[in-house]
Amino acid sequence: FMAFDPPSSRKKVVRKRGASPEAEEPKPGKRKTVMRRDGGMSADFDGEDRRRAREARFTQYNAMVQAREARPNFRVTKLAYTPASVDIDLALIPACEGTCQALEKDYLRLTTAPDPATIRPEPVLKKALAHVLGRYETKDNPYHYLCGQLKSIRQDLTVQRIYNMFTVEVYELAATMALQYGDQAEFNQSQSNLMPLYSQGLVKSQDRLYEFKAYRLLYTCLMGARDELNRELAELPLLSQGDRDRPEIRHAMKVVQAWTQGNYIRFNKLYSQAPNSGKQVMNLFRRVICESVYPKLLKPYRPTPIPVDYIKDVLFPFNAEYKQFPTGEDMWEDFVKTKQFVFVPGSSQDLDTKKCLANFSKVQEEQSHNPGFS
C-alpha cells in the first residue's frame, strides 16, 4: 500500500505540445516522477545503460577482490615481459632455491625472474663471504670489486628469503667496509637493512648492535632526516640504563646535542673522541658540515677580518685515513678554490669577512641554478 498526495498537490510535468510521455528522458542520476495517461505515477531512477554500467563495475570489483584474496603475499605479474630497462623489486619475487656453486659472481640488477642456476645457496654463500673477506684483508683488491661481490651475495640472500645470523654478518661487513672507503650510499643501504634484522632478534653481539645504533643516530642527525632521528631518539628511553650509558650511545647523543645547538667547537672535540668508526660516519658529511658552518663563522665577525687558520681549524679537523678518497688537506684546498676566499689587502692570513660572505652567496646561487656546478 502506498499513499499518494492529493492530485491538487502534485507537480505536473510540463511537456511540449505533441510530445508523448515516453519521449521524456530523465536526467542521469536523478529521480524523475512522471504521470501516466491512466492517472497513475511512475518513477525512473536511471536509464538502462547506466544500470548496466554500474552492474559491470561491481562485477569487476568483486572479481578483483577475489583474485587478490587468492593471490600469495608476493606480487609477480608477467616477469617474462618486463622491459630490460626496468629493475625488479626483489621483495616481489617468489623465493627460489639456488644451485650455483661459483664463489665469485658479478653483481647485476635483475630485470627478469631469477634463474636458480645463477643463484648460490647459503652454504656456497658462506664460502663466498670467506673468500671476499680474505681478499679484503690482503688489501690488494680495489674497493669496487669487493663491493660488487658483497652486493651479489646480498642479492642472492634476498632472492632466497634468507634472513638469519649469516645475513646480519654480511650486512655488518658491508657497512664497515663502506665506512672505511667513504662510500655513503652503500653504508646507508647496509645499515638501513640491519635495523629490521636487529628488531627481529637477529643479534650476534650486543656490542655490534649498539655500535650500529650509534652510527644510526649520527647518520640521521648529520643527514638532516628529522623524522628518522626523532624515531631513533624516541626508542632510547626504552633501553635499560646500562645500555644508554654505553660509550658509543652517550657519544652519539652528545654529537646530536652539539650539532642541533650549533656548538661546532664542541662538535669538533667530540669528533676527535668518537669510538669505533664514529669518525668515518662523521667524515661522510664533511662537505655538508663545511657548507653549513662556514657562513656562520663569518657573520659574527663581519666586517672584522679573521685569520684563515681559524676557519681551517674549525672546518677541517678531520684526519681519518681514506684509501681512495681525498684527505682533509686536499678537501681544504678544494674548499678554498670553490669559495673564492678574499684576503685583506697587504695580508695573506686575514680574511675579508664581508667580501667572503658575498662570494659565498654568489657561489651558492650558482649551484642552485646549475646542479652540476662545483
- Tell me the pLDDT tens digit for each residue of 212-246: 999 999 999 998 888 888 888 888 888 888 888 99
pLDDT reading at 80 higher than 80: no
pLDDT reading at 172 higher than 60: yes
Using a pLDDT cut of 90, give the percent of the chain over it. 23
Same domain, 181 and 217: no
Among 38-42, 121-125, 293-297, 350-354, name the most confident range: 121-125
pLDDT reading at 76 higher than 50: no
Assess if residue 292 is contained within a domain. Answer: yes
Same domain, 139 and 225: no
Same domain, 149 and 101: yes
What pLDDT, on a 0 to 100 scale, did the predictor assign at position 148? 92
pLDDT reading at 86 higher than 50: no
Average pLDDT value for the chain: 77
Same domain, 104 and 118: yes
Assess if residue 56 is contained within a domain. Answer: no
What pLDDT, on a 0 to 100 scale, did the predictor assign at position 187? 93
Using a pLDDT cut of 70, give the percent of the chain over it. 73
Same domain, 310 and 338: yes
Average of pLDDT values for 145-174? 92
pLDDT reading at 72 higher than 80: no
pLDDT reading at 110 higher than 50: yes
Assess if residue 72 is contained within a domain. Answer: no
Is 372 or 160 the better-scoring residue by pLDDT? 160
What pLDDT, on a 0 to 100 scale, did the predictor assign at position 137? 85
Bridge partners of residue 307, in order along the sequence? 350
Average of pLDDT values for 79-84? 35
Assess if residue 338 is contained within a domain. Answer: yes
Same domain, 326 and 271: no
**Residue 67's pLDDT band (boundaries 50, 70, 90)?**
low
Q: pLDDT of 26-39, one tens digit each?
A: 555 455 554 555 45
Average of pLDDT values for 275-291? 85
pLDDT reading at 83 higher than 70: no
Overall number of domains in the chain: 3
Assess if residue 211 is contained within a domain. Answer: yes
Minimum mean pLDDT among 107-116, 152-161, 211-220, 326-335: which range? 326-335
Assess if residue 296 is contained within a domain. Answer: yes
Residues comprising the chain, all counted: 374
What pLDDT, on a 0 to 100 scale, did the predictor assign at position 250? 94
Minimum mean pLDDT among 44-58, 78-92, 118-132: which range? 78-92
Assess if residue 209 is contained within a domain. Answer: yes
Is 216 or 374 the better-scoring residue by pLDDT? 216
Same domain, 211 and 196: no
Average of pLDDT values for 260-287? 86
Is 65 or 36 the better-scoring residue by pLDDT? 65
Q: Which of 243, 275, 307 is the last residue of a domain?
A: 275
**Residue 298's pLDDT band (boundaries 50, 70, 90)?**
confident
Q: What's the grid cell of residue 318?
A: 678531520
Assess if residue 368 is contained within a domain. Answer: yes
Average of pLDDT values for 130-153? 89
Same domain, 191 and 89: yes
Minimum mean pLDDT among 88-92, 178-182, 309-313, 352-356: which range? 88-92
Same domain, 149 and 243: no
**Residue 371's pLDDT band (boundaries 50, 70, 90)?**
very low
Average of pLDDT values for 147-157? 93
Same domain, 109 and 190: yes
Average of pLDDT values for 259-285? 87
Closest CA to 304 of 260, 265, 357, 264: 357
Q: Which of 275, 305, 331 is the last residue of a domain?
A: 275
**Residue 310's pLDDT band (boundaries 50, 70, 90)?**
confident
Minimum mean pLDDT among 26-40, 75-89, 101-115, 159-173: which range? 75-89
Supply the pTM of this predicted model.
Answer: 0.67
- Give per-residue burial for 44-64: e unless 16+ CB within 10 Å, then b: eebeeeeeeeeeeeeeeeeee
| H or E stretch covering 303 | none
Range of the domain at 176: 81-204
Same domain, 198 and 211: no
State the SS3 of the chain: CCCCCCHHHCCCCCCCCCCCHHHCCCCCCCCEEEECCCCCEEEECCCHHHHHHHHHHHHHHHHHHHHHHHCCCCCCCCHHHCCCCCCCCHHHCCCCCCCCCCCCCCCCCCCCCCCHHHCCCHHHHHHHHHHHHHHHHHCCCCHHHHHHHHHHHHHHHHHCCCCCHHHHHHHHHHHHHHHHCCCHHHHHHHHHHHHHHHHCCCCCCHHHHHHHHHHHHHHHHHHCCHHHHHHHHHHHHHCCHHHHCCHHHHHHHHHHHHHHHCCHHHHHHHHHCCCCCHHHHHHCCHHHHHHHHHHHHHHHHCCCCEEHHHHHHHHCCCCCCCCCCCCHHHHHHHHHHHHCCCECCCCCCEECHHHHHHHHHHHHHHHHHCCCCC
- Give per-residue burial for 107-133: e unless 16+ CB within 10 Å, then b: eeebeeebeeebbbbeebbeebbeebe
Same domain, 191 and 110: yes
Q: What's the grid cell of residue 214?
A: 650509534
What pLDDT, on a 0 to 100 scale, did the predictor assign at position 127? 94
What pLDDT, on a 0 to 100 scale, did the predictor assign at position 16? 54
